[in-house]
Amino acid sequence: MATEPKKQTQRINEQIRIATVRVINEDGEQLGIMSTDEAIKTARKSDLDLVEVAPTEKPPVCRIMDFGKFKYQQKKKQYKGHVHQIKIKEIRVRSKTGDHDIEVKASRAREFLQHKDKVIVTVTFRGRELAHINEGRRVLDQIVQKLEDVGKIEAPPSHSGKRMVCTLAPK
């Protein structure tokens, strides 16, 4: 079953069918009660729209405004309530990772941090690499140093088993 499109809540210009309306200009000043045709002409003189803002009043209240701009501002207000969900992204490197590859991984982590996501930097060790944990620590420190302007260390580097992990949060 298809959903119906959302109905427009305010009537504008020729959609207003009432004979007389109370008119408020774009500065918020009341122009008084006038015929709908006269109110539409007044709005058109200043290249604006006549928008019904209080249809239940007697007579209905209409405002002279730029309806497109009004709709845009309403949409912007609606979006302002949107909250970014923080995601956790992971960057994996090895203790033997080359300098250029570290640059690429760091720039990718920078994008994540600028997008307000957390980043876990993981250095994995295989076989005899476990004998050179200081090399893994050097790689991890190098990445953290490159990202210190956009992120802060949330969990300091910790070594457990075949992995060394450090968590960065956006500043």
Domains and CATH numbers, the chain: 13-74 (3.10.20.80), 88-170 (3.30.110.10)
Per-residue pLDDT tens digits for 8-67: 577 888 888 888 999 998 888 888 899 988 988 888 888 898 888 888 888 889 999 998
pLDDT > 90: percent of the chain: 56
pTM, entire model: 0.55
Check pLDDT > 70 for residue 5: no
Burial class for 16, CB neighbours closer than 10 Å (0-12, 13-18, 19+) = buried
- Mean pLDDT throughout 119-133? 94
What's the whole-number average pLDDT of the chain?
89
Q: Which residue has the higher pLDDT, 18 or 107?
A: 107
Choose among 85, 74, 137: nearest CA to 115.
85
Q: What is the pLDDT of residue 7?
A: 54
Supply 86's token pair.
Answer: 């923080």
Per-residue pLDDT tens digits for 65-92: 998 898 888 888 887 777 778 899 999 9
Q: What is the pLDDT of residue 145?
A: 94
- Mean pLDDT throughout 109-115? 95
Q: What is the pLDDT of residue 1?
A: 47
Supply 66's token pair.
Answer: 């730029």
Neighbours of 94 (CB within 10 A): 16
Instruction: Lay out the sheet containing 163-170: strands in order across.
Output: 88-94, 118-124, 163-170, 151-160
Q: What is the pLDDT of residue 11?
A: 83
Check pLDDT > 90 for residue 166: yes
